[in-house]
Structure 1
């Protein structure tokens, strides 16, 4: 029975990284890192259209309807990756403390920096901080994912969802000891997500809030995390399938994804199901298959240097891009107007490319100045926790 190849996504998965080395070095599986890059870029393109209203060519219609789903790909990848990096640590001394340290320092430094910039923006524009104290407290403690529309960081709702998942993940990991429990987790997660979407969605309709809290709440998104965990465990429980999978995974995954995309499109237009959004739940399965596919048989399209680079910086891309689009929207409009008069609707692509190039200049700064230093602090704290006291000679 062969062993599956080792995945080492460094900061993406919460592993120690003392230096900003190439995340794909050392015989790793960089395609999953590339998937994170793909998810981040898709969300940026989605917000270029939705946030600052840059028109998308008709033949790129799926950007406006599907690229926002990149956040759910993040959820699936996060659960899959955490399962891989922590399953062997269960029972080790202080593993829960080290897990908490790594998760905190992976998320908190950059999130707090963007949160501070939002507080500064409020003070400079209004002469005072507008957000109430309870909302600031909820964001500092990462409990805002439990309160409707309490996120202060633009697009930061996913952080509230992720941090709640991080809190329950160790218990789910310990509980997953067999196929029956994995299936039970999927059933429970699906039921919780469906019921939550129905209940919260009806409240959204009554209050007229938009965007809907049913889309942003943790319980509504539990399904995606469960899919990521169970996908990893099925692959590793049945490692005898690895040889077969390497031969057929591309064909099987391609056909399955095509069928599920058709199912998702059919469900998207069912009027009575708009609150539940079963099409999004189907996309969770698509992303789980895509993750397993790239784990078993990585594609160069996702594992090349550019995708690894984007994936390594995906968190900075995600948190920084809404602020960038807001403050530089006038310049982006000028760029788009210049190209649209010459190219027509394809100007969206040139504008998006320009946005990405400029955004990455900022991302590189936040990644190196904040994220990498956060990871160094994580490594230092983890070593301090794991350091054993020296034995003393007894008289």
Structure 2
């Protein structure tokens, strides 16, 4: 699932950053593939509850949990932060303010309105993820069943809707803070937690229903894409200005259902060696892809490709291939030599073994 989330985000930014022309039949990519980030959040919450539910009960286990999470994110993120110092100067002639560098290094930038987006491109989601890690032990302790997880999901949706309304009409740093804060995305994590308890209940009774759940979730995704305006109008009629929260909640439940379906009954065409490999390296793919896209754009590769073909279909396909040809080897290298050593270090100093 992380593989497909990463690919969808790369496609969105490949269109947005160099402003590539796309064929008309791919209209849904820039409008809906951004849901790859919420999918990351859902998978993260689901996986962490699979590994740690009922297994963080002492101070030592709590300390080890935070150590493992820190060493999962920090090594590559710190490497990217250092890379951005010469990268920003070479690309735009800019320097990174010390205060912003420090807030990113301490992983507190999600709580600072002027820093919430991060100076590393697309790193705002890392700030959200680390803020979720901070409260996860409390959630593991408090949410111990399906009923509680559904209550937490409902509360998180309510808070997100009111959070958005509270900042309605704001501009600049405050508007960005409202959009990129943990509060605005907490319900996606809540959907992943609820999905965990649904998965836990179904796998003990009828795991083969996973195929039906996954197929139904795929159909629901298609429906959410092709009937987006009608669904938005429906929630707008019921919820008024909070209608967008209803649409986002529908996406959260649908994506969580897909995660549950895959976990119960992995489809060979979907869960394959390539997807597993890229899923393992998805964090590297996520952090490196804006750099690769910006460099290729600066070198003029996309302009050359579009000049060589007529229309939009072939040049866009060629641009996608060229981007992944550069991105995947780089991501696999950073996963092998930066991410994995960090995870191994966390395991070395820990006696807590995730299930």
Give the TM-score taking structure 2 as reference length. Answer: 0.88
Alignment partner, residue 164 of structure 1: 131
> Would the alpha carbon gap of residues 258 and 326 (structure 1) be closer, same or farther in structure 2, given more than 3 Å must change?
closer
Q: Give the stretch that moved more between structures: 134-143 or 114-123.
A: 114-123
- Per the alignment, do residues 141 and 350 of structure 1 end up closer, same or farther by CA in structure 2, a change over 3 Å counting? same
Residue in 2 that maps onto 1:101 = 67
* Structure 2 match to 1:148: 113
Q: Measure the CA separation in 1 of the matches of 2:43 and 2:21.
A: 30
The whole-number CA distance in structure 1 between the counterparts of 2:189 and 2:155 is 12
Distance 1:40 1:87 in 2: 26
The question of whether the paired residues in 2 share the 8 Å contact of 1:340 and 1:347 is answered with yes
- In the TM superposition, 1:17-56 aligns within 5 A as 35-56=1-22
Q: Distance in 1 between matches of 2:219 and 2:296?
A: 42
Q: Kindly tell me: are residues 300 and 262 of structure 1, through their superposed partners in 2, closer, same or farther at Cα, counting changes over 3 Å?
A: same
Higher mean C-alpha deviation, range 264-273 or range 64-73: 264-273
Q: Aligned pair 1:370/2:338, yes or no?
A: yes
* Cα separation, 1, equivalents of 2:225 and 2:312: 30
Is 1:224 paired with 2:199? no
* Secondary structure, counterpart of 1:346 in structure 2: helix
State the match for 2:77 in structure 1.
Answer: 111
Change (3 A) 1:350 1:166: same
The answer for the alignment partner of 1:30 in structure 2 is none
Structure with a larger share of its residues in helix: 2
Higher RCO by CA contacts (8 Å cutoff, separation 6 or greater): 1
1:266-288 per-residue CA deviation (whole Å, 9 max, x = no partner) reads: 24466974894543332111111
Q: Retained in 2: the 8 A contact 1:250–1:293?
A: yes
Shift of 1:212: 4.0
Query: In the aligned structure 1, how far is the partner of 2:216 from the partner of 2:34?
Result: 26
CA RMSD of aligned residues (A): 2.8
Match of 2:142 in 1: 175
Tell which deviates more after alignment, 66-75 or 330-339.
Answer: 330-339
Answer yes or no: is 1:336 the counterpart of 2:305.
Answer: yes
1:79 to 45, 59, 74: 45
Map 1:316-355 onto structure 2 (within 5 A). 316-329=284-297, 330-341=299-310, 344-355=312-323
2:250 paired residue among 282, 291, 296: 282
Distance 1:142 1:353, change over 3 A: same
Question: 1:215, 1:370 → 2: CA distance?
Answer: 31
Tell me if the contact between 1:56 and 1:63 (Cα under 8 Å) persists in the aligned partners. no
Using the TM superposition, give the Cα deviation of residue 119 of structure 1 relative to its aligned residue in structure 2, in angstroms: 2.4
Whole-angstrom distance in 2 between the partners of 1:346 and 1:122 = 32
Question: Structure 1: 5+ residue runs without aligned partners?
Answer: 1-34, 387-395
